[in-house]
Amino acid sequence: GAGVSQTPSNKVTEKGKYVELRCDPISGHTALYWYRQSLGQGPEFLIYFQGTGAADDSGLPNDRFFAVRPEGSVSTLKIQRTERGDSAVYLCASSLGGTSGYTGELFFGEGSRLTVL
Amino acid sequence: AQSVAQPEDQVNVAEGNPLTVKCTYSVSGNPYLFWYVQYPNRGLQFLLKYITGDNLVKGSYGFEAEFNKSQTSFHLKKPSALVSDSALYFCAVRDMTDTDKLIFGTGTRLQVFP
């Protein structure tokens, strides 16, 4: 597709369960970002990939959160032992980061809304 | 570490009047500055950016922003507001000497009244 695609768009789970959120970036974009947006807040940085490797994971809140991008394209954000406080919209973005002409603009998907009951 | 501040939670303006949404930033190096807009239940959409050059940057939907280095500000402006401009606006900054991540402000809700 032409834009960043995120699935599922909505996920309701119970406390303690495991959740995976998927992001399919724009074709050719080498950089991929995960952000978390709680109600009434700005997007909070979680992790950033350049290719297959995590270039900056300083925003992951704890070791229950993990993300992978094994082939440098699709990424999965994994949350173990979910807690009610994990409820938020998880946003994925991609960019031409690291390539010639890159100036920092990110292209966002519409997000995955996670609700932990 | 870089940061941005959006001092106003909400800005109200009448249709046809000029609007300003404020943003100040803090970085250790030279900043890349961005404005994004978010409509209800939608992802963030890029509006405009400042990288270098002219301090007045023009973007999508008639919006513009002025970079002021001495005041460390990057306020978003539009000469004549439309009801359809009502949305949530986010300022973001990237420190050129740091990683490629963007740091976002807390957002300002713009309400344009007919």
Contact B44 A108 (CB under 8 A): yes
pLDDT digits (tens, 9 = 90+) for A38-78: 988 899 999 999 889 988 899 999 999 999 999 999 999 99
How many angstroms separate the CA atoms of B73 and B32, rounded? 12
pLDDT digits (tens, 9 = 90+) for B68-85: 999 999 999 999 999 999
Chains A & B: contacts with CB separation below 8 Å = 65
- Give φ, ψ of A84 to 5 degrees: -60, -35
pLDDT digits (tens, 9 = 90+) for A69-104: 999 999 999 999 999 999 999 999 998 875 545 667
Whether the CB-CB separation of A111 and A8 falls below 8 Å is answered with no
Whether the CB-CB separation of B2 and B95 falls below 8 Å is answered with yes
Domains along chain B?
3-113 (2.60.40.10)
Contact A110 B106 (CB under 8 A): no
Contacts for A6 with CB less than 8 Å, ≥ 6 apart: A21, A22, A23, A24, A90, A91, A92, A109, A110, A111, A112
pLDDT band at B108 (very low <50, low <70, confident <90, very high): very high
pLDDT digits (tens, 9 = 90+) for A12-25: 999 999 999 999 99
The domain defined by A13-100 folds into Immunoglobulin-like (2.60.40)
Nearest residue of chain A to residue B103 (CA atoms): A45
- Give how far B47 is from chain A: nearest CA, Å: 10
* Residue B114 clears pLDDT 80, i.e. is over it: yes
Contact B104 A42 (CB under 8 A): yes
Nearest residue of chain B to residue A96 (CA atoms): B100
How many angstroms separate the CA atoms of B88 and B105, rounded? 11
* Residue B60 clears pLDDT 70, i.e. is over it: yes
Contact A41 B107 (CB under 8 A): yes
- Give φ, ψ of A3 to 5 degrees: -115, -175
